[in-house]
A and B are shown apart, each in its own frame.
Chain A
Amino acid sequence: MKLTRIFVFENSDEGLLSIHLDGKLQNEFDHFFDLMNDPEWLYDFFVQQKEDLSGGFYRDISVGEAVLKTIEEAGEMEDILYDFTEQGLKEDKNGLQSLFKPLNNFEYIITTHQKSKARIRKGWLRLYAIRLDANCYIVTGGAIKLTLDMKREHLNSELKKLELTKMFLRENGIKYPENLNTFQDE
């Protein structure tokens, strides 16, 4: 595993990084947004997840509508992040922290090295990350979350990447307290 800078402001700790897994062509952040803008990939995904799509909060939405909703939501998320790259994080009161929240819905305290997720209100896209500082996050992946829990295979693999990243950071001298994020993940 390596880290890739998505955008990091000069001479500061502020910015967004992503993990790049060994053997993969792209880092997880770039890969996620490419997939979320790919109608063919999204169509196949929603056909596979049809049961969750029609059985959850989002009943009455067709596979085709789900594809277009995802692309629209990814655009909104990208716009927020793109604006950060152009305007800087200082412009926004809370910067990246306004987008990323603790992974567990019942965690109300924001801490260093916390597993986090970015989402747009009423959206189903999630960007998973580890918080190193108020405006410094390492993205570990992303997913479309149609269920309340994280039991589906594609969501479970995101939890595994968060764990892998946690170990990677620890091996590289970034102290990661053992007692953090031991609750059942969202």
Chain B
Amino acid sequence: MNDLQEKLSDMEGKIPSEWKQAAKHRRENREWLNKSAAIAVKVLEALNQQNLSQKDLAERMSISPQQINKIVKGQENLTLETISKLETALGIQIIPGLVSHGKSAA
């Protein structure tokens, strides 16, 4: 061990970095995490515009505030059911144009 290595090692703490593991997870799951982040932004914008708290939204959806917090942190692999509940509770379209709401062309 050279002088610099020795000095750096003396200055080291006991809590290791968890970055590599987290970066690996983000890298391997980037496609759905990006979609989850885009949904989080839509939810945050709607909450902001309607002056609602995360707790208000949790009550409207009958789920826990912790669950809403996971959604706005972009960490939830959301089901279609949860996305639909979010759309109804906030009166917004998260996935627009997917369903025609039964109106067929004449």
Q: Which residues of A contact B (CB under 8 A)?
A: 2-7, 11-13, 17-18, 20, 26-27, 29-30, 33-34, 37-40, 43, 47, 63-64, 67-68, 71-72, 75, 78-79, 81-82, 85, 132-133, 136, 168, 172-174
Contact = CB atoms under 8 A, between A and B. Distances in A.
A6 B38 CA distance: 29
> How many of chain B's residues touch chain A, expressed as a range?
35 or more
- Give the 5 A-B residue pairs with the shortest CB-CB distance, closest first: A2-B13, A39-B40, A64-B41, A39-B74, A40-B72
A43 B11 contact: no
Interface string B21-63: 0111011001001100110111011001000000000000000
19 contacts: A6-B19, A13-B4, A13-B5, A17-B8, A18-B17, A27-B17, A29-B17, A30-B22, A33-B22, A37-B33, A38-B74, A40-B69, A43-B48, A71-B74, A75-B30, A82-B20, A133-B4, A136-B4, A168-B11
A133 B5 CA distance: 12
A20 B14 CA distance: 10
